[in-house]
Amino acid sequence: MKSSNCIWITGAGGQVGQAIIQELDCVENEVLTSDQDIDVTDLEGVMRYADISHPDIIIHCAAYSDEGLCEENVETAYRVNALGARNIATAARRVNAKLIYLSTDDVFGGGGEKPLTEFDMVQPETVYGKSKYAGEQFVRELCPKHLIVRSAWIYGNSPNNFLRRFIQQAKESGAVQVPNNEISSPTSARELARFIVRLADSFEYGIYHASCEGICTRYEFACEIARLAGLSVKVEPVVGKRSSYTMLDNLMMRLTGIYTMPEWKKALEEFMKEKENR
């Protein structure tokens, strides 16, 4: 980053939070991290921490992101994803901080047939998508200096993502069934973090889509993972429970010229090579 800032990252223990920390210049910037130690659903606690630390930038990654658990625990999903975002936005406005809120392609219903821009109408169908969109609304309403970053099919160093689960299943079984009616673009947490750090050091505000370029099905994604990992597994295409098309078009990136995301296969290859060397 070009200038020195105090940056608070919520949900810093997650795959995107970890990637952002790796991308930030922690010598030039004061980086504050929180995970379980700061409860984003506790308004008084959030405000107290913001008053003490007085961050210039807040990157809000904390979320209740397991779609299945969100359906089973609706109030928890809204408490963390909506109320938590409200609290962080309120604190950001109080200390005049820029707020970067990590959102999701799930704010779209998935029933379309063309790439979705930042200007397309959202229509979430899942509890996760609805709760994250509620978070978006709070951020827009409560914090003037905000950036909402939507991404899709994120994978990184967390065990709780499609890539990691697929590799584990492939090692345990000779065949893995993967939906071929779910379509989007796999996005590396590292590439997403690079864009977020670029946004943090800019004068940009508003909504940005940030997924790797290109498009594929879950099945095609799994086949590429298996190839790069050298796995001897049969990947079987099946019809998933919920057909979805949530390909994000990074239109605002192109309009502003602020950044260009790499093609998804290139980003995946880079990640897999790094994984082998760890």
Locate all alpha helices (DSSP H) within the chain, ordered by sequence: 15-23, 43-53, 67-72, 74-78, 84-95, 127-142, 162-172, 189-200, 218-229, 251-256, 264-277
Q: Residue 122 region, left (φ>0) first, then alpha (ψ -120 to 50), else beta?
A: beta
Q: Which residues are catalytic?
A: 128
**What is the four-CA torsion angle of 40, 45, 46, 50, rounded to 10 degrees?**
-150
Rounded Cα–Cα distance for residues 141 and 131 (Å): 15
Q: What is the DSSP string of 54-117?
A: --SEEEE------HHHHHH-HHHHHIIIIIHHHHHHHHHHHHT-EEEEEEEGGGS-SB-SSPBP
